[in-house]
Chains A and B, each alone.
Chain A
Amino acid sequence: MKLTLQVWRQRNADDAGRMARYRIDGVRPDMSFLEMMDLLNEQLNQRGEDPVAFDSDCREGVCGTCSMVINGRPHGPSRGTATCQLYMRHFSDGARITIEPWRAKAFPVIRDLVVDRSAFDRIMQAGGYVTVHSGPKPDPNALPVEPEVAELALDAATCIGCGACVAACPNGAAMLYTAAKVSHLGLLPQGQPERYQRVQSMVAQMETEGFGACRNYAECEAACPKKISISFISRMNRDFLRATLAEPVNPRGTMDSQ
């Protein structure tokens, strides 16, 4: 296969960046998209040009590192698939492919297609946990959890934190990510004591990071490689309203978790 690639090139955070065009030959349909990028880099390297920097690690769709907007769709055209599990057989010979980084103020570009997603980590640090220390704990079976609840919590917890939801949202909102994290713990009995405090802290952090606001487009759900449902957003909104209206505000930061 021969392809024409339009790729975002940006040397560092201060560089303005531009789209560059490359012709690439020798692509095979059984290559993964990232292997096609490896091939491009091999060819660039041969020509003495800097290879295109892009993030990837596990290459089996679970670490959430890979992050490319392909022809205007985060992770490309296949639903429920991360970039690393996208294969070239989904593209036709001679195709023109535009490859861009996640675009969001909260995800500044580090280089080329690599972005800084530490905003996600800070949302987690604001409250995405159950406060427990390591050490002896009660037997888990002392507190039964309905299998449906456990499954639903797992549906939320399956989030790989890739950021495609933000990239796909016309408003650059991080609602699906935050909602998945909030819902995972909010659904389980272990997460109850900190439930309302957690949703407040995490939503506050999400807003501080400069993500946009949700307008219920549901584009995030369509782009999510784990097909996480926007129903978790509704669930988070409910908890957040309840926390704001009914529960005392006790921001995490003022509390000594010891």
Chain B
Amino acid sequence: MKAVVAVTGVILFGFVLLHMLGNLKALTGKDAQGVPHIDTYGRFLRTMGEPLLPHGFALWSVRIVLLVALVLHVGMVMRLETQNRAARPIRYHHRLVLVESTVAARTMLVTGMLLLVFIVIHVLQFTTGTIQVTPIEPEQVYTNLYNAFTVWFIALFYVIAMGLLGLHLYHGVWSLFQTLGIDNPDRNRGLRLTAVMTAVILFLGFCSVPLLFVMGTMPEPPGQTAALATPPEESP
């Protein structure tokens, strides 16, 4: 069971990493036609594999894999949590004094649940456009980002969420080395460092986008570009 949590964790982590790299495209400007790089990237994601695969097939395959991984990840954690609660039916009168575990480790469940909430909101906002705090236009990834992240509270919300992600991943990455028996991160400084670096890089990478927007350092979106005409979606 634990191995399932770890393996699905690796899958989700891989996705998060790619997602961050994709996001950074928002900061790289636009091409000669004035189309922001990130819009092109968004289009690539949908047309990936064509013409061999039908339109959007690759994207949806990835989405299904991710969804299954997420469900398994959360499901197994819930089962383990039930087992853990059953393992100590009578609590200590004096609260257990925790001396070794990190804050990240102790808050895995909390950060995990908050991240789940965040994922739902995030998908509803940018992918389906169900929640429209700021207008979400199909295909106009850069414009949508610009509109959303120049609103301070949206940017703050995302930065906080990414903080949670960093914490979750710090212990998650640390933990998966241990659970999959790759090596012991407590003994191997390299692995411990990997966990820290991962968390920090992801946090900084993700946060750079909303922060740069909210600080007003990013240019305003260009006018409507007519070239793209597929349903509204950001990255997967």
Contact residues of A with B, CB < 8 Å? 6, 8, 19, 69, 71-73, 98, 100, 103-106, 168, 170-173, 210-219, 221-222, 229-231, 233-242
Chain B 92-107 per-residue mask, 1 if CB under 8 angstroms from chain A, else 0: 1111111111000110
A69: B residues at CB distance < 8 A: 92, 94, 96
Q: How many A-B residue pairs have CB under 8 A?
A: 128
User: What residue of chain A has the Cβ atom nearest to residue B6's Cβ?
Assistant: A237
Instruction: Quote the shortest CB–CB distance from A33 to chain B (angstroms).
Output: 15
Known: A73-B99, A230-B186, A236-B181. A212 touches B83 (CB 8 A): yes
User: Which among A8, A215, A240 has the highest number of chain B CB atoms within 10 Å?
Assistant: A215
Q: Is B53 engaged at the interface, CB distance under 8 Å to the other chain? A: no
22 intermolecular pairs with C-beta atoms under 8 Å apart: A19-B93, A72-B92, A72-B97, A73-B96, A100-B93, A104-B88, A105-B86, A105-B89, A171-B84, A171-B88, A172-B88, A210-B87, A212-B84, A215-B80, A215-B84, A215-B108, A219-B98, A231-B184, A234-B185, A237-B3, A237-B178, A239-B181
Given contacts A71-B94, A104-B88, contact A219 B99 (CB under 8 A): yes
Complex Cα gap A239–B179 (Å) = 11
The residue on A at minimum CB distance from B179 is A237
Indicate if the CB atoms of B2 and A6 lie closer than 8 Å.
Answer: no
A6 B93 Cβ-Cβ under 8 A: yes
Looking at chain A's contact residues, the main secondary structure is mixed
Known contacts being A234-B178, A236-B181, A241-B180, is A221 close to B94, with CB within 8 Å?
no
Whether B171 contacts A216 by the Cβ 8 Å rule is yes
Q: Is the CB of A229 within 8 A of B90?
A: no
**Pick from A98, A210, A216, A240: contact of B94, CB under 8 Å:** A98
Q: Which residues of B contact A73 (CB under 8 A)?
A: 96-97, 99
* A residues near B227, Cβ cutoff 8 Å: none
In the bound complex, what is the Cα–Cα distance between A103 and B92 (angstroms)?
7
Contacts A213-B83, A215-B108 aside, 10 further interface pairs with beta carbons under 8 A come to: A73-B97, A98-B94, A212-B86, A215-B175, A216-B179, A218-B100, A219-B98, A222-B99, A234-B183, A236-B181
Known A105-B89, A171-B87, A229-B187; contact A100-B94, beta-carbon cutoff 8 A: yes
